[in-house]
Copies of this chain bind each other. A is one copy, B any other.
Amino acid sequence: MTVELEVICVGNELLIGKTMNTNANWLGKQATNLGTNVKRITVVQDSVNEIATTICEALLRKPQFIITTGGLGPTFDDKTLEGIAKALNRKLEINQKALAMVKEKCEEYAKKRQLSTTIEMTAPRVKMAKLPEKTEPIKNPIGTAPGVRVDVQGLVLFALPGVPLEMEAIFIETITPLLKQAVGDEVFCERSMFVDKMIESNLSPLIDKVMSDNKSVYIKSHVCGEFLKSHSIRVENKPHIEIHLTITAEEKEKSAEKLLKTMKELASLVEANGGLAIFEE
């Protein structure tokens, strides 16, 4: 059974090109390697309405998991929990468990800085503990703002912080085991090979043939940048098309064998048509 997952990244900085969306890339890779099918990544502005709408749309598509990143911090533009509350028609309320987590982090911080004053639970700090009703805070091993787990309509939504190290830590600690369990024995395998002396439009029918012979394997060709940077002139001895082969199946060893068999088949076809195929056994 395919386990579908969607990622929603909240943050103007991602839309205006100030910040590269490394979070989406990292999550996509992790979730795929764990055997889930990452169906969609959506990036939206720091706006309660935009966040709420995007979550409602994702819920309608019924993936098993939704992961949001960003918007959990103490500043006015951190609006993800308000957006989730609106999407689910739930109230935001101070969650005592979350409040204790925030407090502990603030005290740790004061101790590290050797501040003698007790850290006051100001409105911005309390804000990080205001969760939609009936949700669970998740301990943030690195930063202050807790993550949030929401069980809704038979799926699980996780709200993670936008700071990469915090997001990654919570994903590894809390989400990875859950995805593994949901996926069961499915594993994801991938291999790359390279083709030179052949343009993509000549390679295309060969890929079609090999894919129809190896139905479980997905093959995608990528024209490499180096080739194009030299103004469409092939750089001698540099492979210019990467062929990426992927499979998600139950047995790791058999999957690896299937990928190798498929690569060999494609390599023979490429060479029979005057191209050069480069891959490791």
Contacts and interface: CB of A to CB of B under 8 A. Distances in A.
B39 A42 contact: no
A40 B15 contact: yes
Contacts of A207: 75-76
A164 interface: yes
Given A14-B28, A223-B143, A244-B13, A124 B40 contact: no
A271 to B, nearest CB: 18
A87 to B, nearest CB: 16
Given A12-B218, A14-B28, A123-B205, A42 B45 contact: no
A75 B124 CA distance: 52
A204 B40 CA distance: 32
Contact of A199 (B50, B109, B201): B109
When all copies of this chain in the complex are counted, the total is 2
A26 B203 CA distance: 29
Interface in A1-38: 12-22, 24-30, 32, 38
A154 interface: no
A119 to B, nearest CB: 9
Interface of A: 12-22, 24-30, 32, 38-46, 50, 57, 73-77, 106, 108-109, 112-113, 122-125, 128, 142-144, 163-166, 190, 199-205, 207-208, 211, 218, 220-223, 225, 228-229, 231-234, 244, 246
